[in-house]
Homo-oligomer: A and B are copies of this chain.
């Protein structure tokens, strides 16, 4: 079997474990009201690539850790990613009615329940990281605190939520009814570094911390994941232009139609693809500078750049 085949096997195996762990980690009745539990399960079960969870597990493994110990953190990260999609899809935000090929939660369960389900997933993520794993060496509590900080910073006002706020400013009319000037190249990169990059990066760093990585390993994985995050966003923009709606599970061309700045709009399709490959090269240099247990993180990076959906 070639490398791509081995990676597919790895992704399938880990996704199966992640999906099972996610369902087990979801709050359920009687402690959680059933309508809320149903709403959270609907969005968590809607699938997706599970990119962030896989990066978290693979990072724990790359530093020689046990991926099973990283599973609670992994589930917490996907809870946070899923909450961000739920809130992002709301009528007051992007007003998306389809996501991952299914109707969005506010279409199915109403806007109020979608807000609450998002709030619930975000909060449960931190309960989960504080509670599990239960067993570990004496340094476990200190590593948990560090992971919680990494994830909260990546997901918060300096990270993902901050990126959303920047994005929002570009579709918000000012007092004179005018839109602000479009983002330039540096502004676009900075927005994406927060909006999608920060949580992707935090996922990998958190996995490396839980896996017991050295300072150098954690720093290299963190920087490589920043490159993966940028590559991911560039390819997302490329697929938004090139992809069919069926493959993406959402409406293709939507960003461009909304006048949102994208990499292809700024640089063209070919240069965008080359930029994504350059991210991969820089990530390879980062990962190559430290001793890791396997080369899977880089294979995952290649998959991010070569994906078609």
Contacts and interface: CB of A to CB of B under 8 A. Distances in A.
Contact of A157 (B27, B148, B157, B168): B27
B142 A32 contact: no
A273 interface: no
Interface string A83-105: 11001001011000000000000
A115 B93 contact: yes
Contacts of A93: 112, 115
Contact of A161 (B36, B131, B158): B36
A130 B150 CA distance: 9
A169 B29 CA distance: 15
Contacts of A2: none
Task: Tell me the number of copies of this protein.
Answer: 2
Contacts of A124: 152, 156-157
Contacts of A131: 149
Interface in A60-83: 83
B116 A164 contact: yes
A152 B165 contact: no
Contacts of A21: none
A119 B32 contact: no
Contacts of A37: 157
A73 to B, nearest CB: 13
Contacts of A165: 33, 35-36, 113, 116, 120
A115 B168 CA distance: 11
Nearest to A92: B111
28 contacts: A27-B157, A31-B162, A32-B158, A33-B157, A33-B165, A35-B165, A36-B165, A87-B116, A92-B110, A92-B112, A110-B172, A112-B172, A113-B165, A116-B168, A119-B119, A119-B161, A120-B156, A120-B157, A123-B152, A123-B161, A124-B156, A127-B148, A127-B149, A127-B152, A130-B148, A130-B149, A130-B152, A148-B148
Interface of A: 27, 31-33, 35-37, 40, 83-84, 87, 90, 92-93, 110-113, 115-116, 118-120, 122-124, 126-127, 129-131, 141-142, 144-146, 148-149, 152-153, 155-158, 161-162, 164-166, 168-169, 172
